[in-house]
Amino acid sequence: MSIRHFLSLTDITSAELDTIITAAIDLKKARHRGELNKQLEQKVLGMIFEKSSTRTRVSFESGMTQLGGSALFLSSRDTQLGRGEPIEDSARVLSRMVDIIMIRTFGHDIVERFAAHSQVPVINALTDMYHPCQLLADIQAYVEHRGSPKGKKVAWVGDGNNMCHSYINAAALCGFTLHIACPEGFEPDAELAAKHADIVTVTNNPTEAVSNADWVVTDVWASMGQEDEQQEREEKFAAFQVNHSLMSHANKNAVFMHCLPAHRGEEVSAELIEDDSVSIVWDEAENRLHAQKALMLFLLGKL
């Protein structure tokens, strides 16, 4: 059987996505009931972090432990992919010692080159281009609260970043339309948006994007590594805050999501993110644990 990797949502089919989301919901319910699951007993997850993270490490490490396996944390000081040993050599060696590998790094080419030389599944836990694991959690959260996202209108408000790119892929996989509102000069990858022009629109008007939306999502204005642009971005993104006023243009039953960490008073108002009648960000955050457990089971042939 060929090795399956998860470098972006394009690595799975719509049917496989449904399988993973269904499994994630079942795993969540089982954990809440206190049931044990040791499907990955004796398996080892190698976790390579070139970018720091709270949720990614905790969710992957806890998830692997809960499934009976173990996780090995490798920081940038331990690996330095491409800056010491060639990426291809690291992939060849590490994949002979562990059963599955996740990488959180900068360039998307790094995970692609690593996967091309790995003997075990490789998971993209964030690159500058895509953040597909977060999308699994987001889709799970929407399904749990509102059912299938097929045919829905989703509004992305803010930077056309890696999360936005993954939402474009999710639109194609889930069958929703994606309406992106970005300040001029911060639009998503033009080639990717053009590829999905039938289901993706890009505007500089957040009200237009959110109007009649079923699902509204945003992210920080300055991502990791862009801290020196914070002040400039605060000025350019000032009209793109998601708050109750902007959400009033969405459908009555619309939900709000944010992948966290959130900067209250910047991309989202404190009142909105704490409003449980609209905001489902805490379920969304918890779902990283369950969705990634389902993903690892899928990649290791256990689903």
Catalytic positions, written as ranges: 104, 131, 134, 219, 259, 288
Do the Cβ atoms of 199 and 172 come closer than 8 Å? yes
Q: Is 288 annotated as a binding residue?
A: yes
Q: Is 134 annotated as a binding residue?
A: yes
39 burial via Cβ count (<10 Å: 0-12, 13-18, 19+): middle
Q: Is 162 annotated as a binding residue?
A: yes
DSSP secondary structure letter of residue 105: -
Q: Is 164 annotated as a binding residue?
A: no
- Residues with Cβ within 8 Å of 246's Cβ and at least 6 positions away in sequence, in order, are 157, 206, 207, 210, 216
Q: Is 102 annotated as a binding residue?
A: no
Q: Is 56 annotated as a binding residue?
A: yes
Q: Is 269 annotated as a binding residue?
A: no
- 197: amino acid identity, one letter: A
Q: What is the three-class DSSP state of 25?
A: helix
- Residues with Cβ within 8 Å of 285's Cβ and at least 6 positions away in sequence, in order, are 55, 137, 260
Residue 189 CA: distances (Å) to CA of 125, 140, 164, 168, 247: 20, 25, 9, 10, 26
Q: Is 261 annotated as a binding residue?
A: no
Q: Is 219 annotated as a binding residue?
A: yes
CA angle in degrees (0–180, nearest 5) for 147-152-154: 110
CA angle in degrees (0–180, nearest 5) for 292-297-215: 35
Q: Is 104 annotated as a binding residue?
A: yes
Q: Is 54 annotated as a binding residue?
A: yes
| CA distance linking residue 289 with residue 234, whole number of Å | 31
Give me the sheet containing 122-124, strands edge to edge: 70-74, 44-49, 100-104, 122-124
Q: Is 140 annotated as a binding residue?
A: no
Strand ranges, E, within 14-67: 44-49
Q: Is 131 annotated as a binding residue?
A: yes
Q: Which residues are annotated as a binding site for carbamoyl phosphate?
A: 53-56, 80, 104, 131-134, 259-260, 288
Q: Which residues are annotated as a binding site for L-ornithine?
A: 162, 219, 223-224
Q: Which residues are annotated as a binding site?
A: 53-56, 80, 104, 131-134, 162, 219, 223-224, 259-260, 288
